[in-house]
Amino acid sequence: MQIPVARPVIGPDEVAAVSEVLLSGMLAQGERVAELESKFAAYCGTAQGIAVNNGTAALHAALLACGIGPGDEVIVPAFSFIATATAVSMCGAKPVFADVDEETFNIRPDQVKERITPKTKAVIGVHLFGQPFDVDPVQEICEAHSLVLIEDAAQAHGALYHGTKVGNFGRCGCFSFYATKNMITGEGGMVTTSDKPTADRLRLIVNHGQSEKYLHTVLGYNYRMTDIAAAIGIVQLRKLDKFNLRRKKNAEYYAANLSAKGLIKPKVADNVQHVYHQYVVRLTEEFPLSREAFMDYLKAKGIGSAVHYPIPIHRQPLYAPVAEPDPCPVATKLAGTVLSLPVHPSLDAKDLATVCEAVNKVK
Ligand SMILES: Cc1ncc(COP(=O)(O)O)c(C=O)c1O
């Protein structure tokens, strides 16, 4: 049987929780959503959680709640999932791309500093692949220049930076519960914040700008989560630490057992707890196969793999043309050399051994 690169872990308790909602006849936003919001906020250590229907909506609503609009610039890493940047564009603002660190894949504080202009209003730091970005220097830059910091924590539920959970550092933390994430609701997301005015604005924005029934005071959207999704999320949240521990143990196994020449294993920064949404290796020129040939080889051995992400955001047709010289050369290099191996919690000892044996035998 194929070892997939990602697999949602759903058990009878998620099924029972969804059945209960379905049979209650109350399918849209209700008690389950409120319960997930308060439990997720408590888990992260923030004052509030505002549930939404996906992580992109979380980012868009967070930016709007922080006052981002036309004419503004928001600094984002060039190496991330596209939504980090498109959420900025959805506000009518301009994403400005900062390069990333070659070893941690995360946004570089010096690059953030360099990209600041009089139009800069915010920075989105992404905790990419489950590893917190270096928050302290980015926070310092934001404070010095009166910029809003937003965390894109779509891939990092439960990750720690200097012992504190992500989602606490920015004005808002934005999470995704998409089907392959560390905890899931199928589609879904959450904004965490401890700033009351921001939370109040978020609650309006995600529900048609409605302050009272059929009274609409600001431009809003329908970004609500359903009770069906929230019921899954409540059960998944209970299992999140266990899932993350499995991911970490799987990554530790790879760290100890992968030894192919020209394959660089992921680096974990000091003082962070990585939650391994993805286990991303880099292939150097010393590696005997091209990335495509390696993926085919793994597939033939029943092992799934994936490229996150093959095109850096600043080179996507949406944001082209790219200035010369390339303003984010590390992001471009990583896009050409990274490969994600399976690290999800449902891998067993045999799967891990199969992956290592296949990788180490590459010629
Ligand atoms: C870093 C990052 N930001 C934002 C998103 C958007 O989340 P969603 O797919 O739930 O809209 C994702 C999802 O893959 C992501 O990985």
Q: Is the CB of 170 under 6 A from ligand 1?
A: no
Pick the CATH number of 241-360 from 3.90.1150.10, 1.10.1580.10, 2.60.120.380, 3.30.70.100: 3.90.1150.10
pLDDT of res. 322: 84
Across residues 121-147, what is the average pLDDT? 98
CA angle 89-203-147, nearest 5°?
50
Contact 192, 212 (CB under 8 A): no
DSSP state, 269? P
Does residue 8 carry a pLDDT above 90? Answer: yes
Write the DSSP string, 136-190: HHHHHHHHHTT-EEEEE-TT-TT-EETTEETTSSSSEEEEE-BTTSSS--BS-EE
Ligand 1 atom, smallest distance to 126 CA:
1
For helices 349-360 and 291-300, angle between their N-to-C axes, nearest 10 degrees: 130
Does residue 217 carry a pLDDT above 80? Answer: yes
- 149 pLDDT band, cuts 50/70/90, is very high
d(CA 198, CA 149): 13
Q: Is the CB of 189 under 6 A from ligand 1?
A: yes
- 256 pLDDT band, cuts 50/70/90, is very high
Handedness of CA 238, 242, 243, 248 (dihedral sign): positive
Does residue 214 carry a pLDDT above 90? Answer: yes
Does residue 122 carry a pLDDT above 90? Answer: yes
Q: Could you tell me the two tokens for 275?
A: 């939650």
Does residue 258 carry a pLDDT above 90? Answer: yes
Specify the CATH class of 12-235 in words: alpha beta
**Best mutation site among 81, 89, 308 for ligand 1 pocket (most ligand atoms within 8 Å of CB):** 81
Q: pLDDT tens digits, residue range 272-319?
A: 999 999 999 999 999 999 999 999 999 999 999 999 999 999 999 999
d(CA 93, CA 40): 29
Q: Is the CB of 40 under 6 A from ligand 1?
A: no
Partner residues linked to 91 by β-bridges: none
Please enumerate in sequence order all residues whose Cβ is within 8 A of that of 331, keeping only pairs 6 or more positions apart, or say none.
Answer: 77, 78, 79, 97, 99, 100, 312, 313, 314
Mean pLDDT score of the chain: 97
pLDDT of res. 85: 98
Q: Could you tell me the two tokens for 154?
A: 């779509």
Q: Is the CB of 52 under 6 A from ligand 1?
A: no
Spatial CA neighbour of 150 closest among 234, 188, 93: 93
Residue nearest to atom 7 of ligand 1 (CA): 55
H-helix or E-strand spanning residue 247: helix 227-257
Across residues 311-334, what is the average pLDDT? 95
- 320 pLDDT band, cuts 50/70/90, is confident
Contact 308, 280 (CB under 8 A): yes
pLDDT of res. 321: 87
Across residues 105-115, what is the average pLDDT? 98
H-helix or E-strand spanning residue 325: none
Tell me where in the chain the CATH 3.40.640.10 domain(s) lie: 12-235
pLDDT of res. 226: 98
User: Reduced to 3 states, what is the DSSP secondary structure of residue 287?
Assistant: coil
Across residues 34-57, what is the average pLDDT? 98
CA angle 169-173-176, nearest 5°?
145
**Best mutation site among 178, 182, 183, 340 for ligand 1 pocket (most ligand atoms within 8 Å of CB):** 178
Up-side HSE of residue 186: CA atoms within 13 Å toward CB?
12
The per-residue b/e assignment along 97-134, b for 16 or more CB within 10 angstroms, e otherwise, is bbbbbbebbbbbbebbbebbeeebbbbbbbbbbbbbbb
Cα(187) to ligand 1 centroid in Å equals 10
Partner residues linked to 73 by β-bridges: 94, 120
Write the DSSP string, 189-245: EEEEES-HHHHHHHHHHTBTTEEETTEE-S---B-PPPHHHHHHHHHHHHHHHHHHH
Does residue 107 carry a pLDDT above 80? Answer: yes
Ligand 1 atom, smallest distance to 83 CA:
4
Tell me where in the chain the CATH 3.90.1150.10 domain(s) lie: 241-360
Contact 353, 314 (CB under 8 A): no
Partner residues linked to 175 by β-bridges: 190
pLDDT of res. 145: 98
Does residue 1 carry a pLDDT above 80? Answer: no
